[in-house]
């Protein structure tokens, strides 16, 4: 009888540790992979938009806004953002800068990213 109680007590401890471990794992690690995937997607979008700017500049001798890039066919991307990020273009005749603004309310702790005519993606404030 004593060994049966000891065995039940040991099983109860193992079950408690198991449940506690997986509860913490579920609450802390679920958003990080999704956020990393979103950031990679945003950076890829910025590079794609920058390449479209180069195509547009070669055809029109100036850089274009996002709407001009889409309407001219230089850019096939139709959405204006990705999962909490919106894209904005600052253009002139000699340079461009595309900024991915994050919504802090949707993505706490997120960063803004930008790319310019040097084709380098950087973090911006």
pLDDT at 28: 47
Alpha helices in the chain (DSSP H): 2-29, 31-60, 66-72
Q: Is residue 114 pLDDT above 90, yes or no? A: yes
pLDDT recorded at residue 33:
63
At 34 the pLDDT is: 63
Q: What long-range pairs does 104-110 form, CB within 8 A, spacing at least 24?
A: 107/35, 107/38, 107/83, 110/35, 110/84, 110/85
pLDDT grade for 32, boundaries at 50, 70 and 90: low
pLDDT for 121 beyond 90: yes
Lowest-pLDDT range, 25-29, 44-48, 67-71, 103-107? 25-29
Counting Cα atoms < 13 Å in the Cβ hemisphere of 58 gives: 7
Which residues are CB-contacts of 40 (< 8 A; sequence separation ≥ 6)? none
The CA distance from 125 to 114, in Å, is 10
Percent of the chain clearing pLDDT 70 (strictly above): 82
Q: What is the pLDDT of residue 15?
A: 82
pLDDT digits (tens, 9 = 90+) for 39-98: 888 899 999 999 999 999 999 999 999 889 888 888 877 667 777 888 999 999 899 999
Q: Residue 46, by phi and psi: left (phi above 0), alpha (psi -120 to 50) or beta?
A: alpha
Q: Per the structure block, which two tokens stand in for 121? A: 């993606």
């Amino acid at each position: 009888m004593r060994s049966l109680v000891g065995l039940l007590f040991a099983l109860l401890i193992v079950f408690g540790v198991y449940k506690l471990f997986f509860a913490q794992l579920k609450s802390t690690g679920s958003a990080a992979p999704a956020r990393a995937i979103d950031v990679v997607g945003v950076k890829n979008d910025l590079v794609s938009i920058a390449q479209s700017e180069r195509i547009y500049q070669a055809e029109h001798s100036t850089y274009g806004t996002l709407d001009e890039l889409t309407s001219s066919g230089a850019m096939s991307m139709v959405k204006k953002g990705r999962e909490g990020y919106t894209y904005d273009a600052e253009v002139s005749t000699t340079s461009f800068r595309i900024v991915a603004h994050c919504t802090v309310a949707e993505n706490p702790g997120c960063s803004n990213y930008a790319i310019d005519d040097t084709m380098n993606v950087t973090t911006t404030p």
